[in-house]
Amino acid sequence: MKLDLLCKKGSRENHRDKASRYSLAAVSFTAAAIIFFIIAFIIANSAAAILDIGIIDFLTGNVWKPSANLYGAFPIIIGTLLVTFGSILFAIPLGIGASIFISEVVSDRVRNILKPVCEIFAGIPSVVYGFFGIIILVPFLKSVFPEHLDYGYSWLTGSILLGIMALPTIISISDDSMRAVPKSYREASIAMGATRWETTRKIIIPSAISGISAAVVLGIGRAIGETMAVMMVTGNTALVPDPLWNVFEMVRTITATLALEMPNVVIGSTHYSALFLLALVLMAMVLIINVIAKLIVENTKKRFMKNNEKDGLISRIVPKSTRKCISKYSNLLKNIIMIVLLLSFSYMIVSLFISPIYAVACAFIILATMQALRYGSKKINSMQREKCSHLACALAMICIIAILAILLSDIIIKGIPAISIDFLTSYPSNAGLSGGIYPAIVGTLKLIAGTLAIAFPLGVLTGVYLSEYAKDSRYTRLIKSAIGILNGTPSIVFGLFGMAAIVVYLGIGYSLIGGCITLSFLILPVIIKTTEESISSIPNEIREASFAMGASKWDTTSKVVLPAAFGGVLTGAILGLGRASGETAPIMFTAVVAYQGSMSSSIFDPIMALPYHLYYLASEVPGSMTNQYGTALVLLIIVLSMFTIASVIRHFYSKSIKW
């Protein structure tokens, strides 16, 4: 009798485990389906433009003028690449210098302070960066270059701003890569008589170069998909700069074009389809960047795990004979490349200020000076070189902290006088010149709550499936690839998908629910990834102990593993919500309006939100400076509070781990 009962109980548990497995697999399929739906909608809406304009004419045309039925995207694509290239030139020296300082120069105690400070940059909403660019950066550059910048808006301004936004990605990943280099490498180098700087330059950086390269590539991906900040400071002129390296010219990027033109376009028109084709080009660019970053990271793992040259990324692409030839003449090739790049870069910069003939002469003078400094540095002893190098890295760190201090202090000092009970609890009036931001605060909180309600269960269940149930199969790899693509997709593409699929196709219109669904797709990869990593970090001994007590697979997962990983899961959810609460591009196509005189109670009504309200005040309402600063400060407090809470939970959780 007891044996029959045990058999029945085991059978019920077996059925329940199977049901939970299939249910979780079905939920996880949603993550893969979302990216395919996004791609399908964009391709479907791009088809008319491909047929009417032609893909070659679209990509190579020099004039973008929808009113004249001219859709040449070449100036817009060039503008995107120029701003991105400039941002990386700005971010690389600061980011790499700061990461070396954090990883190799200061103590662990100081590192634990400086790294979170640098990561604050990642928590600042892009619209706040755009506001900072308009208020601080544009006037500053205009005062520095009064003869070249009439208004201050240029691709130089956009590049500096995007470079600042790319810093946390470059610093964090580069630091992690250098810290991952085995400690024995450092000890062996120092034991051979090398200084700390020689160890860093000749051992640590070469060993971590793949990770550093991946950081730079991911920084490019961060910059190329940015919308609000670049739209607010580049001038939005769809022309190729003349000359191409004229950093003082105004340009327009793909993301800015989508954000500016999509709200007013006629649905179903050639213009509408051309904008979706632009989004498809943007997705292709970001996908290529993410694939490159993935290959670099995989190459790093194989280098350290197998230490086998045949497994390297370069060895798979470049033939062995070519590698030998390059290795033989590597120093000569490096010197030639460096000379050509230095001459070209010097000429391009100097030619913006003086005539081309004098610019050539100045370029050679700069080259000679650099070579003299290079050979002169060899006369300095190793300890002095170390001091100079560490000082340069410290200056990079100081510059980053100074930028953060200027940004935050300006908003805090000028925003505090705007904050009052009336400002926080009243409705805007006089088109935003006066009144408060109460409906924008409530709308933002509604978006956060609705996004959490949709994304949290979907993300957590998918993470549980991938970590506990999924085997290494084609289906699992498909889901993980879809999640990776989803994570790298620019936020404005989610906005376009939300507009096409939810607002137009489903007929929901601009609404709270439309914004929540769109934002939930945006943060889904963050929740899935953090859930998967948190659960995977739980030791197998805990699972085995639960199984030994007679618990089923589902009981072990739901009652033992998931509660143990709850801190990491909650951290991922808060980080995702922090990002969602500061996003502007997705909700401007799906949910928000510029002005609302009364609160709506239906989820199918549009709302106000702080990110879009700040953009509206900064770009459309002159003289509303006080309300702009007040709105920026409230938005910054909400977003940074979420990141702070996530950091505290992560710290508390790591302290409480007993295994």
198 token code pair: 């020689």
CA–CA distance from 236 to each of 224, 250, 391, 582 (Å)? Answer: 15, 6, 39, 23
Share of the chain above pLDDT 90, in %: 12
Mean pLDDT computed over 295-322: 54
User: What one-character DSSP code corresponds to residue 429?
Assistant: E
Q: How many CB atoms within 10 Å of residue 492? A: 28
Q: Which residues contact 489 (CB under 8 A, 6 or more apart)?
A: 35, 38, 225, 283, 286
Which region among 249-258, 453-462, 646-655 has the lowest average model confidence (pLDDT)? 646-655
Q: What phi and psi, each to the nearest 5 degrees, are found at residue 150?
A: -70, -35
Which region among 214-218, 500-504, 544-548 has the lowest average model confidence (pLDDT)? 214-218
Q: Which residues of 363-379 are buried (b: 16+ CB within 10 A; e: fewer)?
A: beebbeeeeeeeeeeee
Which band of pLDDT confidence, cut at 50, 70 and 90, is reported for residue 655?
low
Chain segment 426-474, per-residue pLDDT in tens: 988 887 788 889 999 999 999 999 998 998 888 888 888 888 877 777 7
Mean pLDDT computed over 119-147: 86
Share of the chain above pLDDT 70, in %: 89
- In single-letter form, the type of residue at position 589 comes to F
* Domains of the chain and CATH, by start: 1-31+419-659 (1.10.3720.10), 54-317 (1.10.3720.10)
Q: Decide if 137 contacts 160 (C-beta within 8 A).
A: yes
Q: What phi and psi, each to the nearest 5 degrees, are found at residue 91?
A: -80, -30
pLDDT score recorded for residue 416: 92
127 token code pair: 């619209």
245 token code pair: 């390296």
CA distance 351 to 345: 10
What is the Rg, in whole angstroms, of the alpha carbon atoms belonging to the chain?
27
Q: Which residues contact 527 (CB under 8 A, 6 or more apart)?
A: 455, 456, 458, 459, 460, 463, 569, 572, 573, 576
Q: Decide if 469 contacts 562 (C-beta within 8 A).
A: no
Q: Decide if 550 contacts 14 (C-beta within 8 A).
A: no
Which band of pLDDT confidence, cut at 50, 70 and 90, is reported for residue 75?
very high
